[in-house]
Amino acid sequence: MAKVKPSGKIDREPLFSRHLILVISFLVTLLLSQLMIFKFVGATDLKDFWSLTLTTFGAWIGAGAAYFFGRENLKTATDSILKVRGISPEEKLEQTSLHDLKPRPIPKKFQKDKNTIYEVKEWYMEDPDRYFAVVVDNKGAVEAVLHEEGLMRYLLDRTERKLTNEKADLEQINLKEVFTFIDGQIMTYKDKGKANTANAFEGLKTCAVILKENESAKTARDNMEQKHLLLTVVVDNQGMPIGYITNTEIERVMLG
């Protein structure tokens, strides 16, 4: 392809060079074909001569076309393949932030010293799909994410100790008592050398990954897989809860 100089004129040097190569290669090929015909083949008949010459000329045309158009066609084909290929699911996750996923809003937040066990119990019971409660500190930053099972185990422990779980009783107990119970179970099982059980109780108060909104979806996916969790609570730079995502949102990015 001829290049255009800054002045606007066509640079014909590449065209001249290509034409010169074309002519030289033709003459060399023709010369070699004559040697082949008369020295090795021994053709003396005019019909044989033109048959072999035309065959050689056809091969030269094919080689020349491949040389001159090969580079341009290769580049065009490569560009087309890259466009069709797109980006991989891993690249999509890496390029998608948690903010881009539009985290679902957290309907209610609790505090250990301000909310009672009865409030949390009733909140869980309002919706059978609820299984976690976001707990924040006095400044509103996420402090813990309590799994429903953590509360149920606390209530079961009260029953085993012959304590009632009536509304009047639970309204007098702050949520922090559930965390005190869980921490006690963790220490007990660690002392007994039952690390797996201790870790299970630890997971009842940390049932979600907590990440900032500028983190990637890949970071969330990797953290959830590593900790065997299905939930990520998204926070701002001050640790204030923005919303939450699950593995469902991650899968949509990968398949989208």
Q: pLDDT digit string (tens) for 5-44?
A: 444 444 445 545 555 555 566 666 666 665 555 555 555 5
Percent of the chain with pLDDT over 90: 62
How far apart CA 203 and CA 185 sit, in angstroms, is: 12
pLDDT at 126 over 60: yes
Mean pLDDT score across all residues of the chain:
81
* Domain range annotation of the chain: 3-86, 95-255
pLDDT at 254 over 70: yes
Confidence at residue 152, expressed as pLDDT on a 0 to 100 scale: 96
Confidence at residue 256, expressed as pLDDT on a 0 to 100 scale: 74
Confidence at residue 38, expressed as pLDDT on a 0 to 100 scale: 57
Report the candidate in 33, 130, 103, 112 with the shortest Cα–Cα distance to residue 248: 103
Q: Are 244 and 233 spatial neighbours (Cβ–Cβ below 8 Å)? A: yes
Q: What pLDDT band is residue 121 in, cutting at 50, 70 and 90?
A: very high
Indicate the length of the chain as a whole number: 256
How far apart CA 142 and CA 243 sit, in angstroms, is: 11
Confidence at residue 167, expressed as pLDDT on a 0 to 100 scale: 95
- More confident call, 140 vs 29: 140
pLDDT at 63 over 50: yes
Confidence at residue 10, expressed as pLDDT on a 0 to 100 scale: 41
Q: Are 124 and 148 spatial neighbours (Cβ–Cβ below 8 Å)? A: yes
Q: Which CATH architecture has domain 95-255?
A: Roll (3.10)
Q: Are 53 and 33 spatial neighbours (Cβ–Cβ below 8 Å)? A: yes
- More confident call, 55 vs 74: 55
Q: Hey, which of 67-71, 83-87, 229-233 has the most confident mean pLDDT?
A: 229-233
How far apart CA 41 and CA 211 sit, in angstroms, is: 80
CB atoms within 10 A of CB 194: 12
195-233 per-position pLDDT tens digit: 999 999 999 999 999 999 999 999 999 999 999 999 999
Confidence at residue 54, expressed as pLDDT on a 0 to 100 scale: 60
Confidence at residue 86, expressed as pLDDT on a 0 to 100 scale: 72
